[in-house]
C-alpha cells in the first residue's frame, strides 16, 4: 500500500490548490479525480462555460440593440450549436492549465476513479488502496433536483447539460432565480428564447442589498418574465410540448414550454465517499461539517469547497485550499475568515457584493452610514451610454467599510479596489484620497467616497472655523 503525506479527493479548484501547494512544500501527494479531466465543475459545467455563454449573449444583444438604434433591421436565428462550440473552445484552452501532465510533472501521483474511504486513513480507487496522513475532501457539488411530479419523466436541463444543446428552445421555463438561474435565463433570452422564471420566494436575489434588488428587478424584467412566490407542482408532456403547472396561493397556471432549466441550488457530492468508514459526519443536507480550520470531526481529514456548504464559489474553494495547506502540511494554525468574501453575479449589468447589506446591519443594531450614487452621475458610464446601475457603500460610525454593493457595467472589475480597502481595514475616506484617471469606471467609487468628505467637511465645525480664518487672515 502506497503511503502519502496528503491525499486529495477531488480535482477541482480547491483540490488542485491543495495538491499543488502541498507538493511545492515537499509533501508526497496523491490526487484523486473521478472525471476524465481535472478542473472540476467550474471549468467544465460552471464558471468558465457560463461566462463564455454569457459573453456570446452580450455580443448578440449589443449587435441587435446598436443596429436597431442606427436604423438597421436584424433578423435570423442564433445557432446554439455554434455558441456551444465556442464555449467548448474556451474550456479547451483553460484545460491546458489544469492538464494531467502538469500535475504529474509536479511529482503528484494522479488516480482516476471514484475515491472511497475504507478507514479514516485509507482510500480505495478502483483496485488501488492508498494511505494518507492527512486527507482533504474537495468533491464539490451538483445541481439539486426538486421533487416535482413528472419532472424526471419529462426531462430537464441543468448547468451540466445546457452547454451540450444544439437547438434553442422557443419557450423556456427556468426554475429558480439565484445566480445560475438569472445568468442563464438572461443569456437564453438574448439568444432569442421567451424565458419565464419561477421563484418560490417573494423576491429574487434575496441575499443582495435591497437597493441592488430594486435596480436589478427593473432591468431584468425588461427581458424576462418572473413568477415570484410561485411553485412548480407538476410537469407533463403533451403534443411534443412540456406543460408546466405553476401554483401561486390558490391560483393554478399552466404554461406550455419547449424546455425546462432547473437552477434551484446545489447538493454536495458527499454521498458516494463511504464517509462512515472514516467516521466523518455530515449534516441533514449532506454537507460535511468543518471547524474554522476546515477540519472535519476527524481532525486529520479536511473538507473544502462546495462540499462543506460554506460558500459555493471557486475563489472561496481556492482560499480554503490555501488555508488547508498551511494547517495540514505546515502545521501552522490558520482559520478561514468568511466575513470578507466578495461575489459577483454575471448578469448584464453585473452585480457585486461584499460584506453586510443594509438590512443585515439594521438587524445587528450597528450604527451606520450609507453612501449611494447612481451611475448616471459618473461621466464614463454616461459616455458609454451604459449608466444603468448604482454603487452603495456602508460604513460604521467610524467610517470603516462594512459592506459594499454595486450593479453596473463591469462592476465585478471596478469594485476590486473596495475589496482591497476592506481587507486592509481602510475607511471610506481613504478611497477618496486616491487619484482616479478621468474618465474611468472606478470613479464611481470616488464619487461615493466624496459624499463622506462633503458631509464630514461641510456640515460640521470646520466651515465655521475656516470662515473666520479667511475673514481675518486671508
Specify binding-site residues for NAD(+).
176-183, 199, 265
Q: Scanning the structure block, which residue is given the C-alpha cell 486527507?
A: 135
* Residues of the binding site for FAD: 51, 115, 139-141, 306
Span between the terminal Cα atoms of the chain, in Å: 86
Instruction: Give the relative orientation of helices 179-191 and 47-69 as an angle to the nearest 10 degrees.
Output: 40
| Rounded-to-integer distance, Cα 116 and Cα 1, Å | 15
| Rounded-to-integer distance, Cα 356 and Cα 395, Å | 10
CA proximity to 354, closest of 423, 307, 410: 423
Size of the chain in residues: 474
| Rounded-to-integer distance, Cα 182 and Cα 221, Å | 11
Question: Quick one: cell of 381?
Answer: 458610464
Which alpha helices (H) appear in 192-313, and where do they start and end?
210-220
| Rounded-to-integer distance, Cα 283 and Cα 270, Å | 11
Tell me how crowded residue 88 is: count the other CB atoms within 10 A of its CB.
Answer: 14
* Residues of the binding site: 51, 115, 139-141, 176-183, 199, 265, 306
Q: Scanning the structure block, which residue is given the C-alpha cell 481556492?
A: 318
Greatest pairwise CA separation for the chain in angstroms: 91
Amino acid at each position: 500500500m502506497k503511503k502519502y503525506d496528503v491525499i486529495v479527493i477531488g480535482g477541482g479548484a480547491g483540490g488542485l490548490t491543495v495538491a499543488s501547494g502541498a507538493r511545492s512544500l515537499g509533501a508526497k501527494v496523491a490526487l484523486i479525480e473521478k472525471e476524465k479531466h481535472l478542473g472540476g465543475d467550474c471549468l467544465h459545467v460552471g464558471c468558465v462555460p457560463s461566462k463564455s455563454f454569457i459573453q456570446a449573449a452580450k455580443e448578440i444583444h449589443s449587435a441587435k440593440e446598436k443596429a436597431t438604434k442606427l436604423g438597421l433591421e436584424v433578423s435570423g436565428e442564433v445557432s446554439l450549436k455554434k455558441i456551444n462550440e465556442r464555449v467548448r473552445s474556451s474550456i479547451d484552452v483553460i484545460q491546458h492549465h489544469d492538464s494531467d501532465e502538469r500535475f504529474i510533472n509536479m511529482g503528484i501521483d494522479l488516480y482516476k476513479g471514484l475515491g472511497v474511504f475504507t478507514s479514516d486513513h485509507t482510500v480505495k480507487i478502483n483496485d488501488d488502496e492508498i494511505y494518507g496522513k492527512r486527507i482533504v475532501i474537495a468533491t464539490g457539488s451538483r445541481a439539486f433536483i426538486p421533487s416535482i411530479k413528472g419532472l424526471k419523466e419529462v426531462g430537464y436541463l441543468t448547468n451540466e447539460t445546457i452547454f451540450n444543446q444544439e437547438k434553442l428552445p422557443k419557450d423556456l421555463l427556468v426554475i429558480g432565480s439565484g445566480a445560475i438561474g438569472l445568468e442563464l435565463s438572461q443569456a437564453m433570452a438574448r439568444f432569442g428564447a421567451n424565458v419565464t422564471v419561477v421563484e418560490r420566494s417573494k423576491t429574487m436575489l434575496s441575499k443582495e442589498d435591497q437597493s441592488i434588488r430594486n435596480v436589478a428587478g427593473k432591468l431584468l424584467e425588461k427581458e424576462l418574465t418572473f413568477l415570484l412566490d410561485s411553485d412548480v407542482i407538476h410537469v407533463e408532456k403533451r403534443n411534443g410540448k412540456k406543460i408546466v403547472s405553476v401554483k401561486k396561493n390558490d391560483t393554478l397556471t399552466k404554461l406550455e414550454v419547449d424546455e425546462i432549466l432547473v437552477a434551484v441550488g446545489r447538493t454536495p457530492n458527499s454521498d458516494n465517499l463511504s464517509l462512515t468508514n472514516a467516521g466523518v459526519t455530515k449534516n441533514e443536507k449532506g454537507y460535511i461539517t468543518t471547524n474554522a480550520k476546515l477540519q472535519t470531526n476527524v481532525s486529520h481529514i479536511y473538507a473544502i469547497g462546495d462540499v462543506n456548504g460554506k460558500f459555493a464559489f471557486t475563489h472561496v474553494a481556492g482560499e480554503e485550499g490555501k488555508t488547508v495547506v498551511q494547517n495540514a502540511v505546515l502545521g501552522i494554525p490558520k482559520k478561514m475568515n468568511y466575513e470578507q468574501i466578495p461575489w459577483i453575479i454575471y448578469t448584464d449589468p453585473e452585480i457585486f457584493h461584499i460584506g453586510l447589506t443594509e438590512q443585515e446591519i439594521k438587524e445587528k443594531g450597528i450604527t451606520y452610514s450609507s453612501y449611494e450614487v447612481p451611475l448616471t452621475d459618473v461621466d464614463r458610464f454616461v459616455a458609454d451610454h451604459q449608466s444603468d446601475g448604482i454603487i452603495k457603500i456602508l460604513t460604521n460610525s467610524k467610517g470603516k467599510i462594512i459592506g459594499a454593493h454595486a450593479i453596473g457595467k463591469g462592476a465585478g472589475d471596478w469594485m476590486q479596489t473596495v475589496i482591497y480597502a476592506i481587507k486592509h481595514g481602510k475607511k471610506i475616506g481613504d478611497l477618496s484620497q486616491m487619484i482616479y484617471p478621468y474618465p474611468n469606471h472606478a470613479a464611481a467609487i470616488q464619487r461615493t467616497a466624496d459624499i463622506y468628505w462633503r458631509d464630514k467637511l461641510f456640515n460640521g465645525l470646520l466651515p465655521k472655523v475656516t470662515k473666520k480664518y479667511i475673514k481675518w487672515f486671508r
